[in-house]
Structures are given as C-alpha cells and as structure tokens.
C-alpha cells in the first residue's frame, strides 16, 4: 500500500513536471511563432487624395464613404488562415496604425499585413479606393532615443457583445478627434502612435452576441450579463449561461416573472454587432518625447480621443497605463506588431471602422499625410520603341514610357514652375537623341542644361557639336539674320518679316515705338540692303541705307525690287527731302543700334557669313547647343540671339522643300523658356514644320508668359503635353487638358520630378497618365572641355580679326 502510494506520488509528480515542461515549451513555441510571424509582415503607407474625396462628399453622405472600410475588413475576415508550428496553431494578424514619427509633422496611416497577403491587400485597397496610393515602405520610428516613452492599452468596460458608439451614431468623422490628438506635437523629438493589431475572431462570438440579445429581450439586467473586470470574465459569465443546466431554466423563469424593462435600442445595437463579422483587437497607444511631462501630455490626448466612442447604455473603453516592465513589454509588442490574447477586445467591422479608416476628405484640425497628387495608369497601347520619357508608377507597377519618332513630329509642350524638374526632363530627352545619332538644337536661357549636355556627348560625336556661347568674346561665332540662300530668293521676304517680328517682340512693351512709320521705313530699308546679290547685308547695312545717301544710292543702283526703289525715290526722299529723312533715321536705327554698339553683340551679328549653315546643321545631324545665359549677355541681347536662331532654323526647315520627304531626317529642337525667343511665326513652325521634320520640344513656367496669338498656336497645334507642378491660375486652365483624370488640385500639388502626360500614340491622343521623370546620368567634364575647345577653334574667329573686318567693310562702303 505504502509502495503503491509512493509510486503514485512519483507518477503524479512526474506528470506535473512533464505537464509544466510541455506548457513551458508550448508558450515558448507560440512566442517564437508570433515573433517569426511579425517579421513576415509587410508595412504599407496608404495615402488618399484630399481634394477628390472632399468633392465626393458633396455628392454622398460621408458615412457612406466611411462604410467602404467595412467592406475592406469583411474581405480580411475571409483571409482567416492558420499558421502552423507542429501542433500549434495561430490565426494570422495584421496591424493598423495611425502614427506621427519622431521626425516629421504629418500624421500617417499605415497597414502591416503578412507577406503572403500583400498582393491581395494591394488589390483590395485599389478596388475599394481607386485613387489611393499604396506604397511598401521601411519601418518608421516614433521613439525619442534620448527621451521618455509612455504607453497604455485599452479594454472594454463591459462584455464585448455590447457595442461602443460607432461612426454611424457620431455626428462627425471620428478621425477628426483621433488625428487632432497628434496636432500639437513638435516637428522633431515627439512621436506617437495608435496601433490596432487585428485578428479575425471566431464565429462563436457572433452566436454569443445573439444569445445576449435574447437575454436582453427577456429582461435580463446588464449587471447579470456583463462583468466589468475583463472581457474574458464577461465571456465566462455568458458561457456559464449556456452550461448551467437546470439552474438556467429556473433563473430564466425568475426573469420571466420579474423582468427588467427592455431597452429596445440596446437590443438592436447588440443584434447589429452580432450580425457583423468581428475581430480580436489589441489597442495600444504610445507616445515619446524629450520629457516625461511632454510624453504624458501626448498620451493623455490619445487616450481622451477614445472617449468619443463611449456609450453609457452599452460599452466604452477603459485605459490601462503601463509602467516598468509592463511598459517595456508593451513597447516590444508594439515594435514587433505582436498579437496578445490577454489584451484582446472583440470589435465588429463597424466598430473597427470607427477606430481606423482611411481619411475621407479634409480633416480640419490636423496635419494628415494625403496623396498630394493622384496617379493614373499609362495607356494599354503604350509604344515600346522611341526615346524613354520616364516611367509610369501605378499600384506598384513600373512601366517605361516611350515616345515614338512619328508622334514626336507633332511636337511636345512642357509647362512647370521653376525647380520642378522641367530642365532635367528636356536634358534627358536630348541626351537620348544625341546618343541615338540624331540632330539636335537646344536653346538654354540659363546655361546649366547646356553645361550638363556637354558632359554627356559621346566621344564619337564630339566633332558634331557646335557650341554657341556668346560669352566667349575672344572667339565670337557669327550669326547673321539677313543671310539667306540665293537659291531661294523668296526667303528675302521671310527674313524681313521675321526680323520685323523680332523687333516687335523685343520692343512690344512700348507699342508707340513700333508704329506704321517704323514698319514702312524698316521694311524698305531692310529689303534694299539685302536685295543686292553682290553683297551679303547685316544690320549694320540697314542703318547705313537710311543714314548715308551715297550708300543708299549705291544700293538702289543694284536693287531689282520696283516697290522698294519707288519708296525711296518717290516717297522717302521727296517727303521733306533728306532733312526730313534725317529726323526719321534715329527713330528707326535706335532699335538695333543698341545691339551694334555692344562689344559682345557686334562681333556676332555684324559678320556677313554665319559661322555655320543651319540647313547643313539639320541635314548633317549636328548638335547645336546654344548657351544664352542672361548673366553676361543681359535679357534683351539673349532674346535677340534666341529669336534669330529660331528664325534661322525655321528658314532652314522650310528650305527642305527641294528634297523628298522620305529623305528628310528628323531634327529635334528644344527651347527652354520658349516664350522669350518665339514670334507669331511659331504657328508656322507648329503647323508646317512636321512636314520638314523639325520636331519641337518647348517649355516654360506659366501661361501668362505667352501672348494670345502664341498661346492659341501652341494649344491648337501641339500633339503631346506634359505638366509638372504649376500655379493655381494655370491649373484652372490646364485642367481642361487633363480632365477627367486629373484635377486642378492635382496639378498644383505635384511633387518635383513628377508630371502628368497627355501623349500622342499612333496619331491618337491618349488618356492622361502620371509620369516620374528620369535624371540624366553623370557626365564627363573632360569631354565637355574638349568639345568646347574644338567648337570654338572650328567655328569661332579671333575678335580682333572680326572687328578689323567690320571696320574695313564700313570704311570701304563709306
């Protein structure tokens, strides 16, 4: 007997020890399982556009928009899978977080899901929130390493079957209060987060909720149904009702004899909660700041934000502040987004939506991070050939954006404020054209893009470069607007008209200085100067025709234009004689004497032969880089040179009429700040130059820079458009070009390096889409210096030689 008892005790002790060991192993294994599961979570930031959803609210009840989040959670319930570790099982969880990192000032909405759910999560958010941006990111940090961290958890006051006050019964969006709790935090040093670790709950909870509703209908008191210590206790209380046997029947009979008044509204709320899918949720609040007092102030604000969900007749949250090791454990669980059974509260999809939904419209009192400008997918028929403009990034998919050669012949218009990446966009396009062996001209009013492109010239194309730098006064290049091809005598009229338009452009701010008298004398003086086939005229000769009778008579003897000869002999000279003409001359010549008297400009514009033939530049695929930096030239001189170059290139393009269209190679013409160097003839370029393979890429900062006629020419002719960030007034106009995909608010809020594109594809205008711009790679400064030196030696001439030639010609002609 004693021996049997001894063995029995040994067996019991062994069993207890083995049970303890198994229990310890079980707990350790589950903890390991939770940690490994946490490490497999993928963190996303979810951003919605502020303006578009605000417009949506005007058409729909905000609560209906918030309810979309319930559909999201209902879909997550269907992801009720099981993680298995031997005989251990655990339903996977995901985390919902509203946080403000320790460095920053925007409250951000995060979601962390198991890696195997990531694709489903992205698609579900995109389907329910089409304008949302879902970005996978690295983890953020709310902790002030040199400061203090405080935290708390929330539990329900009564049994979980009793609902809290949801968004449907609140007057305002509950996020207004929740996010306001973050609004007074410092930009650096303060961090805080509301974390909900969520796991689909067992369907048993719904059955228990329905049973609770039945008890309430029978008049059972809340005190009998609910216990206030924990929801586990409440569950035990209600479960006891299911297993109480005969006593249950006796108690129900007692309730039927003396029932409490039935709160029909409460019964309805319990039934509604039980009818919805539910989740087990850990609710954690953490705050970190430089001092204990500051951290507690932030935490108190977060805790107070949950008071809005209190319903005295049903349920509310109780705060449990953590200290010491409990606080350390809380920070650990927060960092790893671990689900803890003992901290869980049961919430329906409606209640969970009330605590966490993506921000709908503008939240008035807080700095919430929104999508500044929405994204849109690229067209399905996007080309696979041509230069790459950038890439379309939409819902995690990256698609290169090609621009085919034939569509480029309808030109590209680019608008964007300074600093948005507009010049980078043009540089990268030009770099690809140069690399592809195409002919390029790039007019840069600042000089920085030209300096960049010079470093990117392939060594095999170094000799193709013509670097036009007016700042190089030692070896100036010649640029004569009055020079034309004798094979095309009709070009004379174009030259005179274009030169007159140039001066109208330059002096348009003083209209009275460009009246009919100026036009009449200027046209006839210029025509007389260039009509002599034996001499190439410059602006220098135009002034002399008017001021020097001997020289004018010499030119009249060579002139074959009857109208011009009649004007000078029968109108100008007879209308008051030379004395009267002498009074008119300063009025006319003052417009271009300012350039001829300039020591930088005269050596360029007073040479008879331009340093290079623009037609050959186009036909031989040269690289013409024009540096019109205003720092040394001044704005007026820079504009004059740019206007002359644009006119010369158009003249060269039109002269291609003498060759078959198929043999005309493409020439790509980039003009940054094009409003400074274009006259109304740009309408001709945009409409006609396509035939002659002169393909334009024009850019500027704001529409107010354009005159009405140029504005009409641009928007009436360009095939493709790109808009970077622009101002309010321009956005209202450009919205018409990008509707219905993008709004004015999107155009205003674009980040640097991003653009909206309306691309011509196979001759058809595409639906607008978003684009991220690529930056050009780093170049070789040694190559740039070599190119500059080669170009100035080949195309430039010593200034002394040029000045001596001008003086000799002037004296000889005199």
Burial of 263 (0-12, 13-18, 19+ CB in 10 A): middle
Of the listed ranges 133-142, 267-276, 351-360, 441-450, the least confidently predicted one is 267-276
Kind and range of the H or E element at 35? helix 2-39
pLDDT surpassing 90 at residue 759: yes
Examine residue 549 and state whether it is found in any structural domain, yes or no. Answer: no
Q: pLDDT at residue 53 above 50?
A: no
For residues 423 and 337, membership in a common domain is answered with no
pTM of the complete model: 0.79
Q: What is the mean pLDDT of the chain?
A: 86
HEC sequence for 578-608:
HHHHHHHHHHHHHHHHHHHCCCCCHHHHCCC
Secondary structure string (H, E, C) spanning 712-741: HHHHHHCCEEEECCCCHHHHHHHHHHHCCC
Instruction: Count the alpha carbons within 13 Å of 349 in the hemisphere toward its beta carbon.
Output: 19
- List the domain range (segments joined by +) for residue 695: 404-478+610-805
Last residue of a domain, one of 355, 390, 417: 355
Query: How far out from the chain centre does Cα 244 lie?
Result: 65
Place of tokens 């974390």: 195
Residues 79, 196 within the same domain: yes
**Residue 243 reports pLDDT greater than 70:** no
Question: Among the listed ranges 27-31, 45-49, 256-260, 534-538, which one has the minimum average pLDDT value?
Answer: 256-260
Query: How much is the average pLDDT of 369-376?
Result: 89
Band (pLDDT 50/70/90 cuts) for residue 83 is very low
Cα distance between residue 525 and residue 357, in whole Å: 75
Confidence of residue 765 (pLDDT cuts 50, 70, 90): very high
Q: Which of 541, 539, 499, 536 is nearest to 519 (CA)?
A: 499
Residue 745 belongs to a domain: yes
pLDDT for 614-671, tens place per residue?
A: 999 999 999 999 999 987 788 889 999 999 999 999 999 989 988 888 889 999 999 9
Flag whether 548 is in a domain: no
pLDDT more than 70, % of the chain? 85
CATH number at residue 189: 3.40.462
Please check whether residues 296 and 186 belong to one and the same domain: yes
CB 718 within 8 A of CB 683: no
Residue-wise pLDDT tens digits, 188-211:
999 999 999 999 998 788 788 888
Tens-place pLDDT, residues 119-178: 899 989 989 998 888 999 999 999 999 999 999 999 999 999 999 999 999 999 999 999
Give the pLDDT of residue 535.
87
Split at pLDDT 50, 70, 90, the class of 511 is low
Provide the domain count of the chain. 2
3 state DSSP class of 697: strand
* 441 and 342 part of one domain: no
Judge whether residue 238 has pLDDT over 80. no
Q: How confident is the model at residue 87 (pLDDT cuts 50, 70, 90)?
A: very low
Residues 660 and 784 in one domain: yes
Instruction: Mark which of 334, 355, 376 sits at the end of a domain.
Output: 355
The SS3 of residue 263 is coil
Tokens found for residue 315: 């349920």
User: Does residue 643 sit in the same domain as residue 771?
Assistant: yes
For residues 629 and 694, state if they share a domain: yes
User: How far is residue 716's CA from residue 698's CA, in Å, rounded to a whole number?
Assistant: 14
The residue that leads in pLDDT, 104 or 304, is 304
Domain shared by 188 and 331, yes or no: yes
- Residue-wise pLDDT for 563-585, tens only, equals 999 999 888 877 655 556 777 88
Give the H/E segment covering residue 563.
Answer: helix 562-566
pLDDT the model gives residue 793:
96
Q: What is the pLDDT of residue 236?
A: 46
Q: Which has the higher per-residue pLDDT, 84 or 67? A: 67
Same domain, 442 and 297: no
Domain-located, residue 207: no
Q: Which CATH number is 737's domain given?
A: 3.40.50.300
Residue 578 burial (C-beta neighbours within 10 Å; 0-12, 13-18, 19+): exposed
284 in any annotated domain? yes
Residue 393 lies in a domain: no
Q: Is 288's pLDDT higher than 90?
A: yes
Q: Please indicate, yes or no, whether residues 626 and 739 belong to a single structural domain of this protein.
A: yes
Same domain, 658 and 731: yes
Q: Same structural domain for residues 768 and 662?
A: yes
Residue 540 pLDDT > 50? yes
Q: Per the structure block, which two tokens stand in for 8?
A: 């029995």
- How far apart, in whole angstroms, are the C-alpha atoms of residue 53 and residue 307? 27
Does the pLDDT value for residue 57 go beyond 60?
no
Position 223 in a domain = no
Strand partners, 669: 441, 696
pLDDT for 809: 78
Per mean pLDDT, which range of 64-73, 401-410, 440-449, 514-523 is the poorest? 514-523
Within a domain: residue 654? yes
Residue 436, pLDDT > 70, answer: yes
Percent of the chain with pLDDT over 90: 58
Domain end call among 328, 355, 382: 355
Give the DSSP per-residue string, 624-663. EEEE--HHHH-HHHHHHHHHHHHHHHHHHHHGGGGS-GGG
């Amino acid at each position: 007997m004693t021996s049997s008892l001894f063995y029995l005790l040994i067996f019991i002790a062994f069993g207890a020890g083995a049970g303890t060991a198994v229990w310890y192993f079980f707990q350790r294994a589950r903890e390991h399982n939770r940690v490994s599961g946490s490490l497999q979570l993928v963190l996303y930031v979810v951003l919605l556009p502020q303006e578009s959803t605000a417009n949506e609210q005007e058409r729909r009840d905000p609560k209906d928009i918030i309810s979309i989040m319930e559909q999201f959670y209902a879909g997550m319930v269907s992801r009720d899978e099981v993680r298995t570790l031997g005989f251990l099982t655990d339903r996977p969880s995901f985390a919902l977080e509203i946080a403000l990192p320790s460095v920053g000032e925007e409250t951000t909405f995060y979601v962390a899901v198991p890696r195997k759910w990531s694709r489903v999560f992205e698609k579900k958010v995109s389907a329910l929130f089409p304008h949302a941006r879902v970005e996978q990111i690295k983890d953020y940090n709310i902790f002030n390493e040199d400061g203090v961290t405080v935290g708390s958890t929330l539990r329900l006051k009564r049994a979980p079957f009793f609902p809290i006050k949801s968004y449907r019964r609140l007057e305002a969006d509950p996020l207004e209060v929740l996010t306001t709790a973050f609004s007074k935090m410092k930009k650096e040093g303060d961090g805080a987060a509301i974390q909900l670790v969520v796991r689909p709950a067992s369907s048993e909870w719904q059955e228990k909720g329905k049973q609770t509703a039945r008890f309430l209908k029978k008049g059972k008191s809340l005190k009998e149904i609910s216990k206030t210590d924990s929801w586990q206790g409440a569950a035990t209380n209600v479960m006891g009702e299911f297993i109480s046997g005969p006593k249950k029947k006796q108690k129900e009979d007692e309730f039927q004899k003396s029932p409490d008044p039935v709160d029909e509204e409460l019964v309805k709320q319990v039934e509604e909660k039980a009818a919805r899918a539910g989740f087990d949720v850990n609710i954690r609040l953490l705050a970190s700041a430089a001092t204990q007092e500051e951290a507690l102030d932030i935490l108190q604000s977060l805790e107070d934000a949950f008071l809005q969900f209190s319903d005295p007749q049903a349920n509310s949250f109780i705060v449990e502040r953590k200290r010491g090791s409990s606080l350390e454990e809380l920070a650990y669980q927060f960092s790893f987004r671990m689900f803890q059974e003992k901290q869980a509260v049961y919430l329906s999809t409606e209640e969970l939506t009330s605590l966490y939904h993506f921000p709908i419209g503008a939240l008035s009192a807080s700095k919430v991070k929104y999508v500044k400008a929405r994204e849109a997918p690229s067209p399905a028929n996007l080309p696979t050939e041509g230069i790459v403009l950038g890439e379309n990034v939409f819902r995690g998919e990256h698609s290169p954006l090609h621009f085919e050669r034939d569509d480029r012949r309808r030109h590209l218009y680019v608008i964007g404020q300074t600093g948005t990446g507009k010049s980078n966009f043009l540089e990268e396009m030009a770099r690809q054209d140069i690399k592809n062996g195409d002919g390029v001209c790039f007019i840069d009013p600042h000089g920085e893009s030209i300096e960049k492109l010079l470093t990117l010239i392939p060594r095999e194309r170094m000799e193709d470069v013509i670097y036009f730098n007016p700042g190089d006064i030692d070896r100036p290049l010649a640029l004569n607007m009055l020079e034309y091809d004798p094979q095309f005598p009709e070009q004379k009229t174009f030259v005179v008209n274009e030169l007159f338009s140039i001066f109208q452009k330059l002096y348009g701010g003083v209209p009275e200085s460009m009246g009919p008298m100026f036009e009449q004398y200027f046209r006839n003086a210029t025509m007389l100067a260039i009509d002599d086939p034996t001499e190439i005229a410059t602006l220098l000769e135009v002034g002399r025709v008017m001021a020097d009778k001997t020289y004018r008579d010499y030119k009249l003897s060579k002139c074959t234009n009857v109208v011009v000869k009649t004007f000078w002999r029968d109108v100008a000279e007879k209308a008051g004689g030379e004395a009267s003409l002498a009074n008119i001359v300063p009025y006319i010549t003052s417009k271009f004497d300012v350039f001829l008297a300039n020591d930088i400009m005269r050596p360029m514009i007073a040479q008879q032969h331009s340093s290079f033939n623009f037609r050959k530049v186009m036909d031989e695929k040269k690289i013409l880089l024009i540096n019109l930096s205003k720092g040394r030239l001044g704005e007026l001189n820079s504009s004059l040179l740019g206007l002359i170059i644009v006119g010369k290139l158009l003249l060269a393009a039109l002269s291609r009429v003498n060759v078959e269209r198929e043999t005309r190679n493409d020439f790509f013409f980039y003009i940054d700040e094009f409003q400074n160097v274009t006259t109304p003839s740009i309408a001709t370029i945009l409409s006609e130059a396509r035939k002659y393979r002169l393909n334009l890429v024009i850019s500027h900062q704001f529409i107010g820079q354009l005159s009405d006629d140029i504005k009409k020419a641009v928007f009436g002719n360009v095939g493709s458009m790109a808009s970077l960030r622009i101002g309010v007034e321009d956005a209202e106009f450009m919205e018409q070009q990008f509707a219905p995909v993008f709004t004015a608010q999107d155009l205003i809020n674009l980040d640097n390096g991003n653009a909206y594109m309306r691309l011509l594809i196979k001759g058809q205008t595409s639906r607008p889409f978003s684009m991220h711009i690529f930056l050009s790679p780093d170049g070789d400064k040694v190559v740039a210096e070599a190119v500059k030196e080669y170009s100035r030696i080949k195309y430039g001439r010593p200034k002394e030689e040029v000045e001596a030639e001008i003086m000799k010609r002037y004296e000889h002609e005199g």
